[in-house]
Amino acid sequence: VICDSRATQARLAADAVERLVRGRAAQDRGVVLGLATGSSPLAVYDELARRHGEEGLSLSHARAFLLDEYVGLPADHPERYRAVIDRELVRRTDLDPAAVHGPDGAAEDLPAACARFEAAITTAGGVDLQLLGVGTDGHVAFNEPGSSLGSRTRLKTLTAQTRQDNARFFGGRPDAVPQHVLTQGLGTILEARHLVLLAQGAAKGEAVRQLVEGAVSARWPATVLQHHPHLTVLLDADAAGRL
Ligand code: GLP
Per-residue model confidence as pLDDT tens digits over 188-201: 999 999 999 999 99
Which residues have CB under 8 Å from 90's CB, separation 6+?
Answer: 97, 100
CA–CA gap between residue 166 and residue 173 (Å, rounded): 9
Q: Is the per-residue pLDDT at 230 higher than 90?
A: yes
| Confidence band of 70 (pLDDT split at 50, 70, 90) | very high
Residue nearest to atom 1 of ligand 1 (CA): 38
Where exactly are the structural domains of the chain? 6-214+224-235
Of the candidate CATH numbers 3.40.50.920, 3.40.50.720, 3.40.50.1360, 3.50.50.60, the domain formed by 6-214+224-235 belongs to 3.40.50.1360
Which is more confident, 49 or 75? 49
Q: Which residues are part of the catalytic machinery?
A: 68, 137, 139, 144
Give the neighbor-by-neighbor strand order of the sheet with 194-199: 100-101, 62-66, 31-35, 129-132, 194-199, 231-235
- DSSP H stretches of helix in 124-235: 160-166, 186-190, 205-213
With both helix axes pointing from N to C terminus, report the angle between 42-55 and 6-26 in degrees, rounded to the nearest 10. Answer: 50
pLDDT, one tens digit per residue, over 113-134 is 999 999 999 999 999 999 999 9
Cα 49 to ligand 1 centroid, rounded to whole Å: 21
Among the atoms of ligand 1, which is closest to the Cα of residue 141? Answer: 9
In this predicted structure, what is the pLDDT of residue 28?
Answer: 87
Residue 174 φ then ψ, to 5°: -55, -35
Q: Share the mean pLDDT of the chain.
A: 97
What percentage of residues in the chain have a pLDDT greater than 90? 98
Residue of 136, 142, 169 best suited for mutating to test ligand 1, as the one with most atoms within 8 Å of CB: 142
pLDDT, one tens digit per residue, over 80-94 is 999 999 999 999 999
As a whole number, mean pLDDT of residues 223-238 equals 98
| Confidence band of 26 (pLDDT split at 50, 70, 90) | confident
In this predicted complex, what is the ipTM?
0.93
In this predicted structure, what is the pLDDT of residue 168?
Answer: 96
CA–CA gap between residue 113 and residue 155 (Å, rounded): 10
In this predicted structure, what is the pLDDT of residue 75?
Answer: 87
**Pocket, ligand 1, Cβ cutoff 6 A:** 36-40, 67-68, 133, 135, 141-142, 162, 166
Which residues have CB under 8 Å from 50's CB, separation 6+?
Answer: none
As a whole number, mean pLDDT of residues 147-160 equals 97
